[in-house]
């Protein structure tokens, strides 16, 4: 079985690990599966060959034998269900870990993406200065709720799971804004995840794409 994922040929984040192939790389490292990476340019994303795998013309995608998947959350869930290491054995704990995966992409990530959209695409609008704090406050509501639930625990629900992997991947997108620093428990939670050897291997691999392309 050969696993191939797609990633940006030229990473817009310059290898900070914020592109969504990072979640998939990290999950693959956690479950110990080797993988290959097909780098795609922005124009190739729009080509029929790529759209056949990803209807929205984005990265990451995942190919394994005759299975092709898109959506980082679905890919991580597929890996977590097929291989040991990212979901608990107990059925209820497993369901809760999957709930955290959905919470990451469906509840916590949207306001964070909204901030990125605001900063990048709406900066020149006359209402930008009014809108920015509203967007930031919506993020703070979620961070505060998440921090309260995490409390002093190491992970969201027992052992590290795919739920933590997705949540940390989403929270990392906030780092450039400095907002994560307002929540010491969440900052420590993210730092704990970044210490995982699987995270470091995945980070180094995605960074190498960028640093190698400079040479």
Chain residues binding ligand GSH by CB under 6 A are 19-20, 45, 57-60, 71-73
Whichever of 6 and 183 has its CB closer to ligand GSH, that residue is 6
Whichever of 72 and 161 has its CB closer to ligand GSH, that residue is 72
Reference 206, options 19, 1, 2, 30; nearest CA is 19
> Whole-number minimum distance, CB 189 to ligand GSH, in Å?
21
Q: Which residues of 103-115 are buried (b: 16+ CB within 10 A; e: fewer)?
A: bbbeebbebbebb
Helix (H) or strand (E) holding 199: helix 197-214
Burial of 50 (0-12, 13-18, 19+ CB in 10 A): buried
> Whole-number minimum distance, CB 126 to ligand GSH, in Å?
27
SS3 215: coil
- Rounded CA gap, 5 and 62, in Å? 5
Per the CB < 8 A criterion, the answer to whether 110 and 117 are in contact is no
Whichever of 31 and 105 has its CB closer to ligand GSH, that residue is 105
Which residue sits closest to ligand GSH, CB atoms considered?
Answer: 58
List alpha helices for 88-127, DSSP H: 91-103, 109-121
Whichever of 20 and 25 has its CB closer to ligand GSH, that residue is 20
Per the CB < 8 A criterion, the answer to whether 74 and 43 are in contact is no
Whichever of 183 and 202 has its CB closer to ligand GSH, that residue is 202
> Whole-number minimum distance, CB 25 to ligand GSH, in Å?
12
> Whole-number minimum distance, CB 20 to ligand GSH, in Å?
4
DSSP 54: -
Per the CB < 8 A criterion, the answer to whether 65 and 58 are in contact is no
> Whole-number minimum distance, CB 23 to ligand GSH, in Å?
8
Helix (H) or strand (E) holding 28: helix 21-30
> Whole-number minimum distance, CB 113 to ligand GSH, in Å?
8
Whichever of 39 and 45 has its CB closer to ligand GSH, that residue is 45
């Amino acid at each position: 079985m050969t696993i191939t994922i797609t990633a940006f040929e030229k990473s817009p984040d310059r290898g900070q690990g914020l592109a969504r192939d990072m979640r998939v790389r990290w999950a693959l490292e956690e479950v110990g599966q080797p993988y290959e990476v097909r780098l795609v340019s922005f124009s190739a994303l729009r080509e029929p060959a790529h759209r056949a795998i990803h209807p929205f013309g984005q990265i990451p995608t995942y190919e394994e034998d005759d299975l092709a998947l898109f959506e980082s959350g679905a890919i991580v869930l597929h890996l977590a269900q097929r291989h040991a290491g990212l979901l608990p054995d107990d059925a209820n704990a497993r369901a809760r870990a999957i709930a955290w995966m959905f919470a990451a992409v469906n509840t916590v990530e949207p306001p964070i993406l909204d901030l990125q959209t605001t900063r990048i695409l709406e900066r020149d609008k006359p209402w930008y200065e009014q809108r920015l704090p509203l967007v930031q406050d919506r993020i703070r509501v979620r961070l505060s709720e998440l921090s309260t639930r995490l409390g002093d625990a190491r992970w969201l629900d027992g052992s590290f799971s795919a739920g933590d992997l997705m949540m940390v991947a989403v929270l990392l997108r906030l780092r450039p804004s400095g907002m994560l620093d307002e929540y010491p428990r969440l900052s420590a939670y993210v730092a704990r995840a970044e210490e995982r050897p699987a995270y470091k291997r995945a980070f180094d691999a995605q960074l190498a794409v960028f640093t190698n392309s400079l040479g």
